[in-house]
Structure formats: C-alpha cells, structure tokens
Amino acid sequence: MDWTEDESAILDQIERFAADVLAPRAAELDETQTFAICHLPMMSELGLMGLNLPEDDGGLGLSGPALYRAVEIIAGACGSTASMLTAHYLATDSLHLGADAELRARILPRAAAGALGAFALTEPEAGSNPADMRTTARREGAGYRIRGSKAFISNAGAAEFMVVFAKTDPDAGARGVSAFLVEPGVTPGVSVAAAERTMGLRGGHVFGVTFDCLVPEENRIGAEGSGFRTAMRVLDNGRIEVAAQATGIAAAALDASIRYAQERRVGGHPIADFQGLQWMLADSANDLAAARALGYAAARLRGTGTRYATESAHAKLFASEAAWRIADRALQVHGGYGYCRDFPLERYLRDLRIFRIYEGSSEIQRTIIARGLLA
C-alpha cells in the first residue's frame, strides 16, 4: 500500500507506540479489566484521537486506507484500546458528517486533542434495528427534553460528549430520528451505570446510559429527522474500522502461530515441518489477505462522497468471520498452551467474538449485501 510521506511517518510512530506501550500492557488490561482510557494522554499527544478527522476539524486528515492501517496496528497490539478509540471515532464522525460548522468548531478540535466521545445509538430493545428506538427528544422551551435509555455504549463512563439519537417524531419511523450532542459533565440528567462485565475487550468498557435531560437547540446535529441517515453514514465508516480491528488481531494471532510452529519441536523436528500444520497456516494467510483486500477496497471509498454501504458490509462480514477462523487455528497450533491464559490466543478469540455482533451483526451485513444485489 502506498502512503504519503506524512502518513508513513504517522504510521511508523503508531507502530512504535503499539509495540512499546500497548502490547506490553494488553494482557494486564484484560486481566484487571482496566479501562483503556489509561492510554488516553499519550494517544492524545500523538494525535491518535483525530486520525479520522480532516485538518479543518482539528485532525490529521489520514486517507481511508492509512486510517485502516492505523486501526489495524493498534488492534494487533491491544484490542481494548482499539475498541475505545474507534468508538470515539463514531462520535466524531457523527459531528463531522452531520453537524453545522459552528457545532463542529466547538467540539471537534477538542475531541481531536483528547476529549473522549461516545456514540449512543443502541437501546435495550433496539439493536439491529435502530429505527425501533424508544428514546425521545421533545421540544421544551428553547431546547429538547431527551428521555430514554441506551445500552452497550462504549466510553460512556468517561465521555466528555455523547452523540445521542432520539425520536423527535415517534410516528415517523427512521425519518423521525434526530441526533443531539449531550455533554454529561455540564448537562444534568445523564446517568451512567457501571461498566458491563464482558467476555472480551475487557478494557474497552461499555455502559448503560439513562437520559432525562434538557439540551439547547444548537446541540441538535443537523435538521430534525436527519439522525438516522447520519447514523447509517457513520456506521459505513465504523464497519470498515471493525474490519481493521479484526484483521489487526488476526494478524497478531497468525504471527504468534508462525513463531510457535518454528520453535516447538516434536520428534526432533519443528512442527512447522509438518504439512498438515503448514496448510493451516496457509489457509490463515489466505483468509487474512482476502480480509485486508476487502477492507482496503472499502477504505478507499471513504471521504469520496459516494455511499459504500455494500462495500463496508463486505469488509466487516468477511473480516470478522475470517479473523475468528484465523485465531481458532492459531490456538490449535499452540495445542494445550493456546488454551492457557499465559498465551494471548484465548484473549484474541474472546476479543474477536463481539465483532460478529456489534456495528451490525453478520446477519445484518448479509441483509445489506443482498439488498444491494437485488436493488
């Protein structure tokens, strides 16, 4: 992949940070369930919180493919940190794509400098179909009264701002959804529950959030009824970033299995000499190459002004499922040691499992792809 000189320098810096800081602490974050915001000061200093934003919004303005590679590097070192970071990108993308210039100028440079964001779309009874949401935003005085609950909201416990989706017209389905900026620290009536106890990404905390708060009209992101369209455009980006996370972790698993196969000896020979194991490695390399190709193909469309829902669905679906196969084979290569927590393979598998669910489950991605075929 060809990068600009500036992008190459940024990616080199991210690789050093991932190797020197993230990877050595990844197991500790998982074991202790330490929130990945512990890395936020250094990530902010390096500009990682604004990689997805153009320079006009305070970011570094990476191209889509370079951003894909950046997320892949971070995820390969620490899945929890990548999860925290990409959830922040969902919030800032919402403002970049949907907000007016005044609201963007008020929030995005601060977000790129490290003010953590959260993307509050999912609800207890509205996950795969966000149009079923029950959270409402009704006119009250010079603003909106937001009432309702959200579930599994990454970063909410430490977020300085949230992008909250709510029904301004409960009878209009998806066309009645609007988006709002909510700043928990200055807005009374936002209650965040304790972090959920999750199977994987245990340092990338998710929370339930309850709202009964008043926000000013200028905090509405775009026109009334435009929220669902904004969310879908944001999720096109988010699904590419999920694909990048999946390929990053899968690459780490494949690298670990190659090293182990070359070092582990049976009958005086490294197990890498055995054809059956070689084929497992070859299948994993093939899966990884295909996942990356789909991911980069979708990433090249980012920022072009065209919709790429089908391409991002292809990337997310294939990468999330291929990464699971790669990590599972890697654990098999390690044998009993792979099942032990002293090795990272079981963590990779636990971290990867959610990728087939969030940002639209595998079943939703298949539906998106099929609709594109039948349109």
Predicted confidence (pLDDT) at residue 88 exceeds the cutoff of 80: yes
Residue 215 backbone phi and psi in degrees, to 5 = -120, 145
Residue 215 sits in the same domain as residue 247: no
Q: Note whether 61 and 102 are same-domain residues.
A: yes
Q: Are strands 190-192 and 143-154 parallel, antiparallel or unpaired?
A: unpaired
On whether the CB atoms of residues 108 and 95 are closer than 8 A, the answer is yes
Helix (H) or strand (E) holding 249: helix 227-263
Rounded mean pLDDT, 266-270:
93
Does residue 205 sit in the same domain as residue 243?
Answer: no
Q: Are 271 and 299 within one domain?
A: yes
CATH number at residue 131: 2.40.110.10
Mean pLDDT of 324-331: 98
Range with lowest mean pLDDT among 39-48, 95-104, 300-309, 343-352:
300-309
Tell me which residue of 302, 329, 331 sits closest to 315, measured CA to CA.
Answer: 302
Q: In this structure, are 12 and 135 located in the same domain?
A: no
How confident is residue 249, by pLDDT bands cut at 50, 70 and 90? Answer: very high
- Same-domain status, 260 and 152: no
What local confidence, expressed as pLDDT, does residue 141 receive? 93
Rounded to whole angstroms, the Cα distance separating 103 from 52 reads 17
pTM of the predicted protein model:
0.96
- Domain co-membership, 142 together with 171: yes
Q: Up-side HSE of residue 266: CA atoms within 13 Å toward CB?
A: 10
Residue 130: pLDDT band with limits 50, 70, 90: confident
Same domain flag for 76 and 191: no
Among the three residues 63, 78, 112, which one is the final residue of a domain in this structure? 112
> What number is the average pLDDT over the span 276-302?
97
Give the domain range for residue 100.
Answer: 5-112
Neighbour tally for 317: CB within 10 Å: 26
Which of 90, 112, 134 is the last residue before a domain boundary? 112
Q: How many CA atoms lie within 13 A of 185 on its CB side?
A: 8
Q: How far apart are the C-alpha atoms of 339 and 351, rounded to whole Å?
A: 15
All residues at 6 or more sequence positions from 257 whose CB lies less than 8 Å from its CB, including other chains: 280, 281, 284, 329, 330, 333, 334
CB 215 within 8 A of CB 180: yes
In contact, 151 and 126? CB cutoff 8 Å = no
Q: Is the distance from CB of 64 to CB of 300 less than 8 angstroms? A: yes
CATH of the domain at 335: 1.20.140.10
% of the chain beyond a pLDDT of 90: 94
User: What is the structure's pLDDT at 47?
Assistant: 97
Both structure tokens of 208? 């339930």
- The mean pLDDT of the chain is 96
Same domain, 43 and 106: yes
What does the pLDDT look like over 189-236, one tens digit per residue?
999 999 999 999 999 999 999 999 999 999 999 999 999 999 999 999
What is the pLDDT, as a whole number, of residue 131?
Answer: 75
Categorize the per-residue pLDDT at 46 as very low, low, confident or very high, splitting at 50, 70 and 90: very high
Asked if 350 and 199 count as a contact pair (C-beta separation under 8 A), the reply is yes
| Total tally of structural domains belonging to the chain | 3
Residue 188: pLDDT over 80: yes
Catalytic: which of 7, 160, 311, 359? Answer: 359
Q: How confident is the model at residue 2 (pLDDT cuts 50, 70, 90)?
A: confident
Q: 311 versus 129: which is more confidently predicted?
A: 311
Strand partners, 165: 179
| Among 86, 81, 215, 204, CA closest to 139 | 215
Does one domain contain both 152 and 274?
A: no
- Residue 31 bears catalytic tag: no
Residues 241 and 266 both lie in one domain: yes
List pLDDT tens digits, range 348-358: 999 999 999 99
| Per-residue pLDDT, 303 | 84
Q: What CA–CA distance (Å, rounded) separates 243 from 294?
A: 9
pLDDT at 155: 98
Is the pLDDT assigned to residue 128 strictly greater than 90?
no
Could you tell me the pLDDT band of residue 306, with boundaries at 50, 70 and 90? confident
Pick from 200, 227, 254: which residue ends a domain? 227
